[in-house]
A and B are shown apart, each in its own frame.
Chain A
Amino acid sequence: QLQLQESGPGLVKPSETLSLTCTVSGGSISSSSYYWGWIRQPPGKGLEWIGSIYYSGSTYYNPSLKSRVTISVDTSKNQFSLKLSSVTAADTAVYYCARLAKYFRLYYFDYWGQGTLVTVSS
């Protein structure tokens, strides 16, 4: 059974960089059938896609966050990571990592991590 687990600091100071890692177990991050994504959810609000990465390193970002986001992959560790720079209180959210399956013309997030709350505060 595939599992995804987010890890990283739960508290980040304003103007600093938020860094999270997603560890994938029970399957290979190097499969050609999947992308790997980050999604966030501010408290009491809806879901926002942050960006995705393919095992080859190709990245895709939400235009509204693109200037501050970097997503990378480490296939040797079966992990992918998120960095979000210059954070403010508006970046306080539960951050999820998820697998984006791509089968022929079908694309959907089929496995999700449990999520990790990141609070931006001094």
Chain B
Amino acid sequence: EIVLTQSPGTLSLSPGERATLSCRASQSVSSSYLAWYQQKPGQAPRLLIYGASSRATGIPDRFSGSGSGTDFTLTISRLEPEDFAVYYCQQYGSSHQITFGQGTRLEIK
């Protein structure tokens, strides 16, 4: 099983700042199989990024994804008030095994 470790656990920033969230895999993951989600309290997760770097429909271009192998990054270029939420990375692995990272909480400083 591929374990995804997200860091930091909590990130405290102010609106307008840049956020960099990390997702590290215990073994190499195909970029095609790496996605990022945003979850706000009381809501279902929302797809942000798929294929490590492709934005989902309707996602603002301040969100970007990058990385390969075992290290992936979600960057929010200029934080808006509505961006403060929990973010999860997710991978699709061999034999259709799916795992999520433990999440990064992005909070207002």
- A interface with B by C-beta (< 8 Å): 35, 37, 39, 46-49, 52, 60, 62-63, 96, 98, 100-101, 104-110, 112-115
Contacts and interface: CB of A to CB of B under 8 A. Distances in A.
B98 A105 contact: no
B25 interface: no
23 contacts: A37-B98, A46-B88, A47-B37, A47-B39, A47-B100, A49-B100, A52-B98, A60-B95, A63-B1, A98-B44, A100-B92, A105-B30, A106-B33, A106-B54, A107-B32, A107-B33, A107-B35, A108-B50, A109-B35, A110-B56, A112-B45, A113-B44, A115-B44
Contacts of B97: 60, 62-63
Interface of B: 1, 30, 32-33, 35, 37, 39, 43-47, 50-51, 54, 56, 88, 90, 92, 95-103
